[in-house]
Amino acid sequence: MAESFDVTIIGTGPGGYVCAVRAAQLGMKVAVVEKWATFGGTCLNIGCIPSKALLHASEMFEEATHLFPQLGIDIAEPRLNLTAMMAHKDDTVASNTGGIEYLFKKNKITAFRGTGAIPAAGKVFVTAEDGSAQEIETRNIVIATGSVSTDLPGIEIDEDKIVTSTGALKFKKVPENLLVIGAGVIGLELGSVWARLGSKVTVVEFLDRILPGMDGEVSKQFQRMLQKQGIDFKLSTKVTGIEKTGGGLSVTLEPAQGGDAETVATDAALVSIGRKPFTEGLGLADAGVDLDDRGRVVTDAHYKTNVNGIYAIGDVVAGPMLAHKAEDEGIAVAEILAGQAGHVNYGVIPSVVYTSPEVASVGKTEEELKADGVAYKASKFPFTANGRAKAMLATQGFVKILADKQTDRVLGCHIVGKNAGEMIHEAAVLMEFGGSAEDLARTCHAHPTMSEAVREAALGANDGPIHI
């Protein structure tokens, strides 16, 4: 007799494991299926967590080298111990993925190891690595199989010299030159890591700007900051081929709109041109589940596919490919299955680039408001006028608040600065409650904090900031 569950979740990334925990908390009998050796998906194993471990460590290295002297701390010139830095990253991953194992046990969630396939609604087949197969009976199925790196046609990834983010998280030595293809989040985060550790980093971007989708002013100013850190940009440029030479690579570049090609030599190349949904091996055609033209599982507003009893969440469905978006969808679908009104407010999903300075954003950009024909006011406050930022030598960047011209309701907030990724949440909470710039400006902020700049930007939307 096959074991039977209320819900079986395929994939244990932030979408899948959070869904499993919430479903168990709501009294369901829950199973998860995972093909990797450890739980946590892309985010915990090869994404958010290892990249943030290296971003933090490399930022400390950079600060010890360049900031300590300015703060009056004289130390011998710091030396990089890449093996120890990678061990810190690996320990961080192990501790986080082990945490998910603990959560599954604590919540009495049954974990099946192997690749899950859906022959029909109500059934999941699990094929283990040794080929043995098992059948699960289940009232509901949640597909949470995530995404994988997008390939660049004609370019073969070896995860040694021509790498995706996965290879760029485990270079054995610092490449002298690193060519990053794609000025999106992965390219700028991992490009920053290796630039701080000593690589000469050049970023090639197809579009005429970095971080497409972010506010245009943010993107422009942030590019200048990265250039000051020694990162070069070749915008409106495409890579048309990579050849392996003696010990390195020869990369052919062309203007995006066509024109003369040039070749550049590099030791390593990072392909970071986006990610695509992953549904291989699930047998969705057998189950009759529809995909869209970009390979994403199609769902309704309640995460249900076209087949009753089969749901999908996270990177495998439409929307931003972010861990917290996947988590929130995991909670929402568990609540929906329990008969509650689970839902996600897609208008208030923060987005953070964990570089130095950080870039954080929530809600609409100026470009989006203009395109929507919304009458808005923009208010900006620079960290150069913030006391705490001065004390920390962290005056780069600004806070920008966009509010409705008539109602003063905050529609977007964009921050470039140290710890921007923490500060953005006061705007997120405000927006969740439909708050105005005046609400934020009238909220007492502790002094001296970087967050005072958020309040000053809010003040600037009406009566004017105090400190400029």
Cα→Cα distances 321→68, 94, 451, Å: 36, 23, 27
Beta bridge partners of 380: 400
Q: Does 417 bind ligand FAD (CB under 6 A)?
A: no
Binding partner selected for residue 116 from ligand NAD, ligand FAD, none, CB under the kind-specific 5 to 8 Å limit: ligand FAD
Of 34 and 366, nearer to ligand FAD (C-beta) is 34
Among 7, 57, 336, 353, binds ligand NAD (CB under 6 A): 353
Known catalytic residue at 447: yes
Least Cβ distance, residue 110 to ligand NAD (angstroms): 30
SS3 411: strand
Among 207, 338, 348, 378, binds ligand NAD (CB under 6 A): 207
Burial of 227 (0-12, 13-18, 19+ CB in 10 A): exposed
Least Cβ distance, residue 16 to ligand FAD (angstroms): 5
Of 17 and 354, nearer to ligand NAD (C-beta) is 354
Residue 444 is encoded by which pair of tokens?
A: 């007492």
165-184: contacts with ligand NAD (CB under 6 A): 181-184
Among 56, 324, 414, 447, the one annotated catalytic? 447
Among 61, 104, 122, 146, binds ligand FAD (CB under 6 A): 146
257-316: contacts with ligand NAD (CB under 6 A): 272-275
How wide is the angle at C-alpha 454 spanned by C-alphas 64 and 189, nearest 5°? 40
Single out the residue of 4, 403, 421 nearest to residue 189, CA to CA: 421
Q: Considering only 66-74, 103-111, 243-251, 278-286, which stretch makes contact with ligand FAD by CB under 6 A?
A: 278-286
228-247: contacts with ligand NAD (CB under 6 A): 238-239
Longest dimension (CA), the chain: 73
**Cis ω for the linkage preceding 448 (within 30 of 0):** yes
Rounded Cα distance between 412 and 302, Å, is 26
Rounded Cα distance between 11 and 364, Å, is 31
Q: Does 124 bind ligand FAD (CB under 6 A)?
A: no
Q: Considering only 244-252, 313-321, 376-384, 460-468, which stretch makes contact with ligand FAD by CB under 6 A?
A: 313-321
Rounded Cα distance between 330 and 17, Å, is 8
DSSP result, 71-130 = GT---PPP---HHHHHHHHHHHHHHHHHHHHHHHHHTT-EEEESEEEEEETTEEEEE-TT
Q: Footprint of ligand FAD on this chain (CB under 6 A)?
A: 10-16, 33-36, 41-43, 47-48, 51, 115-116, 144-147, 165, 186, 278, 281-282, 314-316, 321-324, 326, 354
Interaction site with ligand NAD (CB under 6 A): 152, 181-187, 189, 204-207, 212, 238-239, 272-275, 320-322, 352-354
Query: Which amino acids are annotated catalytic?
Result: 447
